Amino acid sequence: MKKLLLSFIVLMSFSLQLRADEGMWIPMLLQNNEQEMQEMGMNITVEDIYSINNSSMKDAVVLFGGGCTGEIVSEQGLLLTNHHCGYSWIQYHSTVEHDYLTDGFWAMSFEEELPCPGLTAVMLKSMKDVTNFVLEGVTKDTPNDERARIVSENIKKVKEEAEATTNYQVVIKPFYHGNKYYMIYNEVFKDVRMVGTPPSNIGKFGGDTDNWVWPRHTGDFSIFRIYVSPEGEAVEYSEDNVPYKPNYHFPISLKGAEKGDFTFVFGYPARTNEYLPAVAVDQEANVINPVSVDLRGKILDIYNKHQEKDPKVRIQYASKHASLGNGWKKWMGVTEGINNFKGVQKKKAFDEKFTAWAYKSRQRGAYLTLISDFEKVYAEYEPYRLAITYLSETALNIEILTFAAEFNKLSQVTKDTPQEEIDEMIAAAKEATKVFFKDYYQPIDEEVAVAMLTEYIANQPADFRPELLNTIEKKYDNVEAYVEELFAKTMFTSEEGIYQFLDEFKASKAKKLAKDPALMAYNNVMDFYLANVREKASDINSQIADMQRVFMRGQMEYYADQEPEKRMYPDANFTLRVTYGKIGGFSPRDAVNYKHFTTLDGIMQKENPDIYDYVVTDRLRELYENKDYGRYADKDGSMHVAFIAGNHTTGGNSGSPILNADGHLLGLNFDRTWEGTMSDLIYDPSICKNISVDIRYVLFIIDKYAGATRLVDEMTIVE
């Protein structure tokens, strides 16, 4: 009996635990989670997190640069985000003489803060359920295309009505795969300036080697500031703009956190797919990911080889390398996680339970054949998905081709095209040329072209081969010969040549442009895609979306019926969410246990002056040797660098504030553990952990390392 009781308790706490960590919740609806959050240790109320009438934490969280999260930490609009989120801006401002990527950058006054044209910070003002308006006129039986038409008309109408009464940006988004719709009012800040960044050997310590991996020692932060007009309006950059006064900014805790402590993460997760049928998960993990991983691996090998040889090339390809490498590694982790966790089998088991449940009631007719229909449609989808993957991972990673594509419009100019338009095209082409050559290294591109075209030719069946591939096979001895000729004949390898061509451009020269082999190659693969792949793929895709909407509704009914206590969260869709979980390590495999935090000692253990990713500056070593950590040391005396917790995060959550039970800032989320990246498809609390940089390490770097103390002085510090 005792034993039984014990296993019952274990079981219960396991299932509670399951519910506690998983989920990305809509802040407006957080009342449903409040009790659980408080039971887990939270000392504040959900009204403190999200309030429409009073200032609350939501007023300090922004969508940064369209893809990351940032948080406001001072009364003067100071913004923290990740180094990898600010990366392209750091690179934008870097030259070989002012290499902020390598050396870091610290504005020592407001005047030194650097404008970033095009960078935005988007702040949610309020949010409203508009499902009834958007789905007005739709029933369960409305045919899909009819439904799509009604929904898009309704959205247009609701949005226009809202826009007529506000200056804010209005966005309407589907949630729960189109079973619900919310309208969101945003303030879009357009003058965001770069204030500070550590050198890459702090901000990107461990580089792509450690990316996605725990234990981690990356000081992954950078600092920006929001500026507004003197009247407080969110306007484009102007010299007259002033620092933004937010309604709320996060206090910063210097107390650190212990294993088991409550935390929550507030930010903009981009995309998850937690409610897919088994066949979809299987296709992603075992068909598509392995192809992308293989192709990107080959490109990255080529980048690495050249980057190691030449410091200029290293800077030029840093950002390209990071973005290709990030997906590459993540998808490897997803596939491994799904397979180790028997994810496909678990999904299958659910699919079967779902179908059996559907057979139990007449009302559930829509669900009876859903799973077997999914199997059919995904099988049909597979070759198209592969075609898209091959196109985008091979041909579109040949830089000369995508660059040439920027001249497409110009190549279609005729003698009737107004001169004004031509002038605009020329100006745009010149700008594109400048941007392109800043970061272009032809020997890399030639090697990538050979490798990728070889793969494209070898792996695509007859029906999915653009003519270019057949031409290469028929007319050339080998792919190398084709690539050699391509690069010898195209005009797009010569920056000077392009400028000259553009300066002398007349309508009569458009034909010459259209015949350029790089432009022709690009158009050949894209035309093939447009004619033979896109339409069919998007048809199947919308068919899947319609089925997924029904499946989602079915799963909501299933759980309401079978496990009424289960709360269901909508998949991530780049809207503001709250997720919560406890600090703690995990066991990734037999006999290995991960502690929940890392320290500066670990940086010194990894240090290796010969390996780019593990270089440590003299300044950091000196601070370490003198244990000169000031008030930023943990109470154990060491300098904590990063920590992990059970928060359900995904891409887009980078830079998100991770907060303690009082809502004080503990750190910045920047990654997940590789073993748990499958959490976008299936969440398993035993291995799915988010990785954050400890705010005390951030402040230590700003203050002690860089001496940018003026920035720390602006912040509200809780000691």
DSSP string, 190-237: -EEEEEEE--HHHHTTTHHHHTT-SS------EEEEEEE-TTS---S-
Residue placing its CB nearer to ligand GLU in the complex, 293 or 513: 293
First-last CA distance in the chain: 49
Q: CA nearest 472: which of 408, 531, 525?
A: 525
**Amino acid residing at 573:** N
Catalytic-role residue among 59, 191, 210, 220: 220
Contact partner at residue 197 from ligand GLU, ligand ARG, none, CB < 5 to 8 Å by partner kind: none
How many other CB atoms are there within 10 angstroms of residue 609's CB atom? 8
Is 220 catalytic? The answer is yes
Residue placing its CB nearer to ligand ARG in the complex, 113 or 671: 671
How many other CB atoms are there within 10 angstroms of residue 185's CB atom? 18
Site string for ligand ARG, 133-172 (x = CB under 6 A): ----------------------------------------
- Within 592-631, the residues that bind ligand ARG by CB under 6 A are none
Residue placing its CB nearer to ligand ARG in the complex, 523 or 677: 677
Q: CA nearest 115: which of 222, 193, 229, 228?
A: 193
Which helix H or strand E contains 175, and what residues bound it? strand 169-175
> Which residues are CB-contacts of 659 (< 8 A; sequence separation ≥ 6)?
57, 250, 263, 264, 265, 266, 665, 666
Phi, psi of 528 (to 5 degrees): -60, -45
Minimum Å gap between C-beta 571 and ligand GLU is: 14
Which helix H or strand E contains 105, and what residues bound it? strand 105-106
Structure-token match 């403190």, residue found: 48
Is 84 catalytic? The answer is yes
Please answer whether residues 321 and 303 qualify as being in contact, where contact means their C-beta atoms are separated by less than 8 angstroms: yes
Q: Which of 204, 385, 582, 664 binds ligand ARG (CB under 6 A)?
A: 204
Minimum Å gap between C-beta 496 and ligand ARG is: 34
Answer whether the bond into residue 215 is a cis peptide, omega within 30°: yes
**Amino acid residing at 558:** Y
Contact partner at residue 211 from ligand GLU, ligand ARG, none, CB < 5 to 8 Å by partner kind: ligand ARG
Contact partner at residue 649 from ligand ARG, ligand GLU, none, CB < 5 to 8 Å by partner kind: ligand GLU
**Angle of the 442-459 helix axis to the 289-309 helix axis, nearest 10:** 160
Residue placing its CB nearer to ligand GLU in the complex, 23 or 652: 652
Q: Which of 179, 304, 326, 408 binds ligand ARG (CB under 6 A)?
A: 326
Site string for ligand ARG, 59-98 (x = CB under 6 A): -------------------------x--------------
Minimum Å gap between C-beta 447 and ligand GLU is: 28
Residue placing its CB nearer to ligand ARG in the complex, 227 or 317: 317
Residue placing its CB nearer to ligand ARG in the complex, 179 or 326: 326
Contact partner at residue 142 from ligand GLU, ligand ARG, none, CB < 5 to 8 Å by partner kind: none
State how far the Cα of 362 lies from the Cα of 230, in Å rounded to an integer: 64
Question: Burial of 373 by CB count in 10 Å (0-12 exposed, 13-18 middle, 19+ buried)?
Answer: middle
Which helix H or strand E contains 690, and what residues bound it? strand 690-694
Phi, psi of 105 (to 5 degrees): -150, 135
DSSP string, 106-151: E-SSGGGPEE-TT--EEEEEEEEE-HHHHTTT--TTS-HHHHHHHH
Task: Specify the pairing of strand 191-197 against strand 262-267.
Answer: unpaired
Residue placing its CB nearer to ligand ARG in the complex, 211 or 433: 211
Q: The tokens of 275 are what? A: 């409610």
Minimum Å gap between C-beta 213 and ligand ARG is: 9
Site string for ligand ARG, 24-53 (x = CB under 6 A): ------------------------------
CA 169 to chain CA centroid, nearest Å: 22
- Within 109-128, the residues that bind ligand GLU by CB under 6 A are none
Please answer whether residues 688 and 588 qualify as being in contact, where contact means their C-beta atoms are separated by less than 8 angstroms: no
Based on the shown chain and the rule CB under 6 A, indicate whether residue 689 belongs to the binding site for ligand ARG: no
Residue placing its CB nearer to ligand GLU in the complex, 120 or 650: 650
Residue placing its CB nearer to ligand GLU in the complex, 277 or 685: 685
Using the rule CB under 6 A, give the single segment among 122-130, 320-328, 488-496, 582-590 that binds ligand ARG: 320-328
Minimum Å gap between C-beta 33 and ligand ARG is: 26
Site string for ligand ARG, 206-245 (x = CB under 6 A): -xx--xx---------------------------------
Catalytic-role residue among 83, 84, 217, 664: 84
Minimum Å gap between C-beta 711 and ligand ARG is: 23
Catalytic-role residue among 654, 656, 679, 692: 654
Contact partner at residue 207 from ligand GLU, ligand ARG, none, CB < 5 to 8 Å by partner kind: ligand ARG
**Amino acid residing at 89:** W
Please answer whether residues 697 and 632 qualify as being in contact, where contact means their C-beta atoms are separated by less than 8 angstroms: yes
Minimum Å gap between C-beta 381 and ligand ARG is: 26
Structure-token match 């998949």, residue found: 571
Residue placing its CB nearer to ligand GLU in the complex, 115 or 646: 646
Question: Burial of 480 by CB count in 10 Å (0-12 exposed, 13-18 middle, 19+ buried)?
Answer: middle
Residue placing its CB nearer to ligand GLU in the complex, 204 or 465: 204
Task: Specify the pairing of strand 78-81 against strand 597-599.
Answer: unpaired
Is 662 catalytic? The answer is no
Based on the shown chain and the rule CB under 6 A, indicate whether residue 671 belongs to the binding site for ligand ARG: yes
Residue placing its CB nearer to ligand ARG in the complex, 256 or 269: 269
Site string for ligand GLU, 662-691 (x = CB under 6 A): --------xxx-------------------
> Which residues are CB-contacts of 688 (< 8 A; sequence separation ≥ 6)?
21, 646, 648, 672, 673, 676, 678, 679
DSSP state of 670: E
> Which residues are CB-contacts of 123 (< 8 A; sequence separation ≥ 6)?
59, 61, 62, 63, 186, 187, 188, 189
Query: By CB under 6 A, how many residues form the interface with ligand ARG?
Result: 12
Q: How many residues does the chain have?
A: 719
Minimum Å gap between C-beta 673 and ligand GLU is: 9
Minimum Å gap between C-beta 507 and ligand ARG is: 45
Please answer whether residues 494 and 436 qualify as being in contact, where contact means their C-beta atoms are separated by less than 8 angstroms: no
Minimum Å gap between C-beta 601 and ligand GLU is: 25
> Which residues are CB-contacts of 245 (< 8 A; sequence separation ≥ 6)?
75, 76, 77, 232
- Within 54-83, the residues that bind ligand GLU by CB under 6 A are 68
Site string for ligand GLU, 645-664 (x = CB under 6 A): ----xxxxxx----------
Contact partner at residue 100 from ligand ARG, ligand GLU, none, CB < 5 to 8 Å by partner kind: none
Based on the shown chain and the rule CB under 6 A, indicate whether residue 270 belongs to the binding site for ligand ARG: no
List residues binding ligand GLU (CB under 6 A): 68, 649-654, 670-672
Active site residues: 84, 220, 654
List residues binding ligand ARG (CB under 6 A): 84, 204, 207-208, 211-212, 322, 325-326, 651, 654, 671
